[in-house]
Amino acid sequence: MNVFLSMVATVAFAVLYQIPRKAILPVGLLGIVAELFLIAASEEHVGLVAVSFAASLTISLLGEGFARTLRMPVTIFSVPGIIVLVPGMNAYQTMKDFVTHQFMQGIAMGTETALIAGAIASGLVMAGVLARSVWRPRKNVD
Amino acid sequence: MDEERVLRLCMQTGLLLLRYGGETSRVEETMAHMAMGAGAPPDSVQSFVTPTGIFISMTTDNGTLTHLTRVTGPATMNLEKVTLLNDLSRRLQRGNCTVDEAFAELDRIEQAPFIYPRWMQMVASALSSGSFTIILGGAGSDFLWGAVGGLIAQETTRWLTRYAPRFFSVLLASLLGALLAVLSSAIGYTHDEGAIIIGAILPLLPGLAVTNAIRDLLAGDLLAGVARGAEALFTSVAIAIAVAVAIGISPRLT
């Protein structure tokens, strides 16, 4: 059920950015991939930071692949693709801790949130660098 | 080659790209490709693009020509049009299209209606917020509250960005969305207040700004990357403040 909802959420988010119709199916697929990573994380008890990095790297690489085969900008795929990974619950918990004066918990939670966000960003960066170095020669021929 | 015309074509394309949410490194690249496709000698065109302005100059035997345009007004995300503009520059570069045809195509792209009309966007923001609410642990009945909250938040920003700075419109929109979640749980109809709040503010997250900032920094466009990053940070702070206010009010209501 959650997998289906992730796909819906991802595609609907993509519609807000007016992505081309041809890109909808791949984007939905990326949403599913993201949710599968999260499910695996909770079942295998792997830390969210590590999983977020792996998921974001995978999704961005897939996105770079889609972008090249479909001849579209990468942002079409990577922006909606990683939305499911965004640590919304952690961020919310952080704010809640601070508002209720539980500063120590808030700082701990906030640090984890920041680390997850950093991991997602690093995945994007890594995929971007890899794609640039691997695909650059072909791009010049274009 | 009519330098003036080529430069105007590049500038117009760059402006549209930037307005529809293309990253600045893409804008620079596209303008250079277009100029070459239109017959400018390689490396004769230099451009400097920031989120708030475009500079472009062309140096030929006839001298140097420079254009500068300020980018004003709120951006309207439209990645489909970014794709179309990209295709156009590629066609021009390959020689499959003349400068005149490119101008006509630019007008067509600018005037083309959005592929997803207004009502579809409203459905989409409700659907994504609702789904997200359940993914984050909300019960089935929370879907509706999340969806309504998301719809309110999205429509509020869309309406307000025309009159107020982005920080304010996002702040107010996420406040309305979060307050709805808090109110609904105060009445006692909900399962997970947190999930609804996060679902409701989902459409406001600066996803494109963050991704563009990272891509710009990677491409070596330091100034644009930092500027976009600051924009994203600004938006996030607005959302965080709104959520904090809503949570603070929450215990008083029950």
Whether B154 shows a pLDDT value over 60: the answer reads: yes
Surface of A (69-128) touching B: CB under 8 A: 71-76, 78-80, 82-84, 86, 88-89, 91-93, 95-96, 98-100, 121, 124-125, 128
B77–A80 CB contact, under 8 Å: no
Q: What is the pLDDT of residues B60-69, one digit of tens each?
A: 888 888 999 9
A129–B247 CB contact, under 8 Å: no
B215–A19 CB contact, under 8 Å: no
Whether A142 shows a pLDDT value over 50: the answer reads: no
CA distance B135 to chain A (A): 6
CA distance B137 to chain A (A): 9
Distance in angstroms between the alpha carbons of the first and the last residue of chain A: 42
Query: Rounded mean pLDDT of chain B?
Result: 88
Q: What is the DSSP letter of B64?
A: E
Q: Are A59 and A81 in contact (CB under 8 A)?
A: yes
Q: What is the pLDDT of residue A136?
A: 60
**Amino acid, res. B221:** D
The pLDDT confidence band at residue A29, using thresholds 50, 70 and 90, is very high
Say whether residue A3 is in contact with chain B using an 8 A CB cutoff.
Answer: no
Q: What is the pLDDT of residue B254?
A: 64
CA atoms B22, B132, B170, A118: torsion sign:
negative
* C-alpha–C-alpha distance, residues B229 and B212, integer Å: 8
Q: Which residue has the higher pLDDT, B236 or B72?
A: B236
B197–A92 CB contact, under 8 Å: yes
Task: Label the pairing between strands B53-60 and B63-70.
Answer: antiparallel
The pLDDT confidence band at residue B107, using thresholds 50, 70 and 90, is very high
CA distance B210 to chain A (A): 9
For B126, which residue in chain A has the nearest alpha carbon?
A12
pLDDT more than 90, % of chain A: 51
Q: What is the DSSP letter of B188?
A: T
CA distance A80 to chain B (A): 8
Mean pLDDT confidence for A41-58: 91
State the complex-level ipTM: 0.84
Burial zone of A18 (CB within 10 Å; 0-12 exposed, 13-18 middle, 19+ buried): buried
Q: What is the pLDDT of residues B15-64, one digit of tens each?
A: 999 999 888 988 999 999 888 888 888 788 889 999 889 999 998 888 88
Inter-chain CB pairs, A–B, below 8 Å: 140
Say whether residue A142 is in contact with chain B using an 8 A CB cutoff.
Answer: yes
Q: Which residue has the higher pLDDT, B96 or A109?
A: A109
Alpha carbon B121 to chain centroid, angstroms: 15
B197–A78 CB contact, under 8 Å: no
- What global pTM score does this model have? 0.86
Mean pLDDT confidence for B162-169: 87
Q: Which residues of B touch A10 (CB under 8 A)?
A: 128
* C-alpha–C-alpha distance, residues B121 and A13, integer Å: 9
Surface of A (22-41) touching B: CB under 8 A: 35
* C-alpha–C-alpha distance, residues B54 and A70, integer Å: 29
